[in-house]
Amino acid sequence: MAEADAKVKDAPKKKKGLPALLVPLLACVLGAAAGGAGAAIAVLKFAPGLAAGGGAHTPAAAPHDPVPEGPLEYVEVDNAFTSNLADSGRYLQVKISLSTFGGPEAVESIEKHKPALVSAVLAALGEVREPDIESAKAKDELRERLKGVINSALKSKGEPGGVEEVFFTSLVVQ
């Protein structure tokens, strides 16, 4: 009987809590769940057509004009555009830069027709109201409107209208 008591005393004591193999298994399950949640968030954010159940056959939004294959170039418009806001006694002053993938030809057409572009931008800014510049989203919409006005002015002069984006390099409201 003394030997049986010695074996019981020498036997390793059982640990309370999770068994040693359950901890790594639980870590793997939680990691997979976190990865799945991350993938779901990515699908919802970056592929809304897939999230809606449309799969790969969901048509994309209306395609933009194809992007020319030239290098991206920036053109600084050196004019400061100043205009009264249409609904108040305040005024808006902006400076802009343009980007184009149209290569040297597009840069040359922007430079060549700069007086027409300045006039078109001033006309568009004459219609701007306070709500058109209150938020970042409103300013982005104004940039898109200016892009359309500039491309229309270029097309009216027989140019392809290759301005990809308009950037505010200065924006002051007083």
* Mean pLDDT across the chain: 78
Domain chopping of the chain, boundaries: 19-63, 73-173
pLDDT band at residue 24 using 50, 70 and 90 as cut-offs:
low
Strands 73-84 and 91-100: antiparallel
Token code pair at residue 130: 């306070």
pLDDT score recorded for residue 87? 86
Token code pair at residue 8: 């019981």
Q: Is the pTM of this model over 0.75?
A: no
Class of domain 73-173: alpha beta
pLDDT score recorded for residue 110? 95
132-163 exposure pattern, b = at least 16 Cβ within 10 A, e = fewer: bbeeeeeeeebbebbbebbbebbeeeebebbb
User: Which is more confident, 57 or 108?
Assistant: 108
- pLDDT one-digit tens code per residue, 122-152: 999 999 999 999 999 999 999 999 999 999 9
Task: Please state, in angstroms and rounded to a whole number, the distance separating the CA atoms of residues 84 and 159.
Answer: 30
| 117 pLDDT above the threshold of 80 | yes
169 close to 76: Cβ distance less than 8 angstroms: yes
Q: Of 4-8, 59-63, 148-152, where does the model show the most confidence?
A: 148-152
Instruction: Output phi, psi for 71, to 5 deg.
Output: -75, 150
142 close to 81: Cβ distance less than 8 angstroms: no
68 close to 105: Cβ distance less than 8 angstroms: no
